[in-house]
Structure 1
Amino acid sequence: MANVKELDPSASQLAAFGARIRGSRTARGWKQRDLASQMGFSPTQISHVETGRKMASWRFARSADAAFGFEGTDESFERELGKMKHGVLFEGFPQYVAYEARAIEIRIFNAGLIPGLLQTPAYVAAVEAGVVKRGASTPDQAEERINLLAERQAALVRPTPPTVIAVLDESCLRRPVGGPEVMDRQFAHLIAFAEQPNTILQVAPYALGEHCPFNRMTILLTLPDHSVVSYVESQIQGHLSREIASVRPLMRAYHQLQGASLSQADSVDMIEQMRKGTQ
């Protein structure tokens, strides 16, 4: 009989996570190969997570939840992974990420910074370097956020990708991040984003003034069952909601915002002119 490594759940969060995976598996009488088959991972990958040698990915946690029937429950491995990886992030954000990965339509508004899903690696690295320099985060925490963003962006590359509608406050374009070269590549990325068949890009110009219905990051996700989830984030907190009473006014305001913003053609033209330094 193969040696089974003893686990000490109190040793670390990583060890506790692995022990929970093993405990859930053995309680069902499954071998590692049985769980691996259900999750779409190799037995070696299961072993590495169970013994704390590697941290689980978001896909691993979601697959484990599906295998064990923990999706959307307090026992969710995805929720536990969120607490491990992103304890410095706002409450509700790990749950938001799970919804985002399944959404069929994503509507985004942001002011001040390019939204995460549209950021280039160089842009997000510059943003996180600034956070670390201010002492608001550690280098390890910044690296985790960079990795999470890469996973979020990768999750949108599907056989049938979601429709992504992004309305950027003009301040997103006017604020220099990382220097001219980083901004040039970011502008090029936005132009390429607008050319995709499943995307819409608009700019809410400064001229909207007080008529802009949002002053903070707002995201609306349409899920496969056509229900809508909202996520609104301020400087100090985030709020996730599936309540119709709170989501419906946000959807109405988003439609108003789109109607008042520049068309995609005019928005792309503005970005191209800024890239050339003529605006």
Structure 2
Amino acid sequence: MVNRKELRPESSPQAGYGAQLRSCRENRGWKQEDLGAEMGYSSTHVSAVETGRKMATLRFSRSADRALGTGDLFERKYREIKHGVLLEGFPEYVGHEGRSVEIRLYEIGIIPGLLQTPEYARVLADSAVGRGAITVDYAAERVAFLAERQRALERRHSPMIFVVMDESCIRRPVGGATVMRAQLDRLLEFAERPNTVLQVAPFEMGERRPFDLPVNLLTMTDRSVMGYAESQTQGHLDRETTSVLPLLTAYHQLQAEALHQAASVDLIKELRKGIP
């Protein structure tokens, strides 16, 4: 134990993989030699993967799943890293999201992932495939991961979820009439839940809209708040109070300026009727 290296799973997807491997191994009471023997690898190889010095392969990941009885956990994690299914910082964010007591989301242009129907999510993924931005396998993994993320929030003590969507989210047609009708129905159902608040930020807000990019804010059980934001290529999880609290203040200002839930629901119903 003297030479045990402390892991930082949040530092990268590869580090997260290694930390998960160590955790599963230790939960079984195994040393690295024991796991290596079960997998057909040396203890040195296992150590290198756990500490992030060596990248796991598909064969290694499948062997780890078989040895540890983890289903396809490590195979999925390998594919996430290999194909870039998750932006840097997002795996850590999702882990906290699943344990949060309050979630605040703001989205522009598309329905927030937590509220997307499988069909809507699949259309977006397939469109990215058509543009050559991602592979078919990547698209399938993206949709499957979203479904897992949604299920994680259907727990006994579900968090309060506050969602403000720019009006562009509900006016942008995605996937044709059938997909959009079902998606708007999903939003209406979401608004009826006892632990949700759904608002639309109308175009008329103009310069009063405080955000120009999507924003995710999480409140944890100890009332600490963390923020997550991403660009086209990178995500960033922020725990620093000095930078997160101004985001929370701006979010409250956004909610005050946006349509209240009843008016937002009426607007969605109006758009729903207009779909042929």
Q: TM-score, normalised by structure 1?
A: 0.75
Q: What whole-Å deviation, never above 9, does each CA across 1:8-33 have from its counterpart, x for those lacking one?
A: xxxxx9xx9798677644219999xx
Q: Tell me the residue number matched to 1:145.
A: 142
Q: Tell me the residue number matched to 2:67.
A: 50
Give structure 1 stretches of 5+ with no counterpart: 1-12, 32-44, 62-79
1:189 Cα deviation (Å)? 0.4
CA contact (8 A) 1:19 1:51 kept: no
Q: Tell me the residue number matched to 1:77.
A: none
SS in 1 for 2:198: strand
Q: Tell me the residue number matched to 1:196.
A: 193
Give structure 2 stretches of 5+ with no counterpart: 1-13, 36-61
Q: Name the CA distance, whole Å, in 1 between partners of 2:227 and 2:66.
A: 32
Q: Given the alignment of the two structures, is residue 215 of structure 1 paired with residue 212 of structure 2, yes or no?
A: yes
CA contact (8 A) 2:93 2:228 kept: yes
Q: Tell me the residue number matched to 2:90.
A: 93
Cα RMSD (Å) of the superposition? 3.1
CA contact (8 A) 1:163 1:198 kept: yes
From 162, 165, 168, the equivalent of 1:165 is 162
Q: Which letter maps to 2:125?
A: E
Change (3 A) 1:223 1:277: same
Change (3 A) 1:250 1:19: closer
1:185 Cα deviation (Å)? 0.3
Q: Name the CA distance, whole Å, in 2 between partners of 1:82 and 1:47.
A: 14
Change (3 A) 1:83 1:182: closer
What are the within-5 Å matches in structure 2 for residues 247-266 of structure 1? 247-266=244-263
Q: Tell me the residue number matched to 1:72.
A: none
Q: Given the alignment of the two structures, is residue 119 of structure 1 paired with residue 116 of structure 2, yes or no?
A: yes
Q: Name the CA distance, whole Å, in 2 between partners of 1:247 and 1:81.
A: 31
Q: What whole-Å deviation, never above 9, does each CA across 1:98-117 have from its counterpart, x for those lacking one?
A: 01110110000000000000
Q: Which letter maps to 2:90?
A: F
Q: Given the alignment of the two structures, is residue 275 of structure 1 paired with residue 272 of structure 2, yes or no?
A: yes
Task: Quote the sequence identity (%).
Answer: 49
Q: Which letter maps to 1:55?
A: D
Higher deviation after alignment, 234-243 or 220-229: 234-243
Change (3 A) 1:27 1:164: same
CA contact (8 A) 1:19 1:50 kept: no
1:239 Cα deviation (Å)? 1.4
1:236 Cα deviation (Å)? 2.8
Q: Name the CA distance, whole Å, in 2 between partners of 1:143 and 1:89.
A: 13
Q: Name the CA distance, whole Å, in 2 between partners of 1:121 and 1:57.
A: 24
Q: TM-score, normalised by structure 2?
A: 0.75
Change (3 A) 1:86 1:202: farther
Q: Given the alignment of the two structures, is residue 27 of structure 1 paired with residue 31 of structure 2, yes or no?
A: yes
Aligned length: 231
CA contact (8 A) 1:132 1:138 kept: yes
Q: Name the CA distance, whole Å, in 1 between partners of 2:160 and 2:79.
A: 25
